[in-house]
Structure 1
Amino acid sequence: MKSLVNTRISLAVITLFTASWSMSCENDETDITLDNQQNTAISLEDKEALLFMLEEEKLARDTYIYLDELWGINQFSNIQISEQSHLNAVANLLDTFGIDFTVQPEGVFTNQEIQNLYDEFITDGTMSMTQALKVGATIEDLDIVDLQDYINATSNTALISVFESLQCGSRNHLRSFVSALENTGNSYTPQFLTVEEYELIISDSNEQCGR
């Protein structure tokens, strides 16, 4: 009974925090106008980057949908909306360059590496609310690093513009998950970002993305 009471208290604390944060979360949806950047040619490396990020953004969305249904934490319901906009931004860029792609059903991925991550995140996120929030932070941590790697590897201005906007949203999401964890007496240790990169992000305020 004591454990159940503590769980309800923790959920109440998280709900109060995320309710006050939800407006800023919804404002980080990607809003990219490609203008004259709609080139007709794209390198094989950039094509592969777009296809990979399509599934990585889907990984975030699908995981948050699952964890929202499981725990009912506003964090997941708010951020999954932003992740859908991230998914749409990558899909729009794939369309712009005439690249065929398929968005698989929820929880299913073409890339086996991402499928394995989804399965792992679902298992970990089912253990507790704290673990679920840590899964959210881990996904955003990974997303920021992967996007930066692709930004560094390309000279395609359209790709850079979209990926930088997605990165901005992921930084906001990371701040939110970490704040929720700290609000319940827990913490997050970066898994992919360096400690220095992580601290710079967490110490900064939420950003307006794609504007």
Structure 2
Amino acid sequence: MMKTTITDFTRRKFMRSLGVGAVVVASSAFAAGARKRGSSTVVELSDEQKDTLFFIFQEEKVARDVYITLGKMYTDETTFANIQISEQEHILSAQVLCERYGIDTSSVNLSLDDNYIGQFELHSMQELYNQCIELGQVSLLEALKVGRFIEVTDIEDLEKAAEGMPSDVVNTYENLKNGSLNHLDAFEKAIARES
């Protein structure tokens, strides 16, 4: 039986198989109407946009949890450990947006306890995590390619998720995207070193 590697998947086929693309694409619907909270204006989001905020929040947790798990498998490779710290900040940034727009994140345990690493509310995110870990177990090189895949996916999803969103969401997603570009660069360097 032949083992599957991350290079066997194209992003489009992989994401379509998980059924997550529609959630992110749905973010283009923009809801009108605003309410005042203190001195800032908060826009009412559509249900689709709220789903997108929660999706991005969970996707950031996938990245962190995959890097924690792969970092435990490949303890000599510091790329996973270095980036998982940054991914924790990404999760918290996405969580702030969820809370600001009334999206309950209390069902998601962000603890670093082993009982909660790799546990997701969204089925598509659970499948993504499971697939990434399966592929990452093949070798260190494949694990690094999983990291590259996650960052490329995050960048594309953040760009799509920002469409039609209020400026605070767009700004946060732009910051997350810049972080992911740095992570992608780190994985590219590690892949080149390992190849």
Common topology (TM > 0.5): yes
Instruction: Name the residue aligned to 1:76.
Output: 80
Taking a change above 3 Å as real, the CA distance of residues 87 and 38 of structure 1, as seen in their structure-2 partners, is farther
1:130 aligned to which of 134, 137, 141: 141
User: TM-score normalized by structure 2?
Assistant: 0.73
- TM-score, normalised by the number of residues in structure 1: 0.67
1:34-64 C-alpha deviation (Å, 9 max, x unpaired): x965515222222111100011000000000
CA distance in 2, matches of 1:45, 1:67: 32
Q: Is the 8 A contact 2:45 2:101 kept in 1?
A: yes
**Partner in structure 1 of residue 42 of structure 2:** 39
Aligned pairs for 1:1-211 within 5 A:
39=42, 41-72=44-75, 73-101=77-105, 102-104=107-109, 105-152=116-163, 154-185=164-195
Which aligned runs of 4 or more in structure 1 are off by greater than 6 angstroms? none
Supply the RMSD in Å over aligned alpha carbons. Answer: 1.6
Distance in 2 between the 1:80 and 1:97 partners? 26
Runs of 5+ unmatched residues, structure 2: 1-37, 110-115
Q: Report the AA paired with residue 178 of structure 2.
A: C
Q: Is the 8 A contact 1:62 1:106 kept in 2?
A: yes
Unaligned 5+ segments in structure 1 are: 1-34, 186-211
Percent sequence identity over aligned pairs = 37
CA distance in 2, matches of 1:36, 1:76: 40
Give the direction of change, closer, same or farther, for the CA distance of 1:36–1:139 in structure 2 (3 Å limit).
farther
1:67-95, Cα deviation, whole Å (9 max, x unpaired): 11110111000100000000000111111
**Cα distance in structure 2, aligned partners of 1:167 and 1:36:** 28
Q: Secondary structure at the match of 1:59?
A: helix
Comparing both structures, which one devotes a greater share of its residues to helix? 1
Provide Cα deviations, 1:162-190, integer angstroms capped at 9, x if missing partner.
Answer: 111100000110111011111223xxxxx
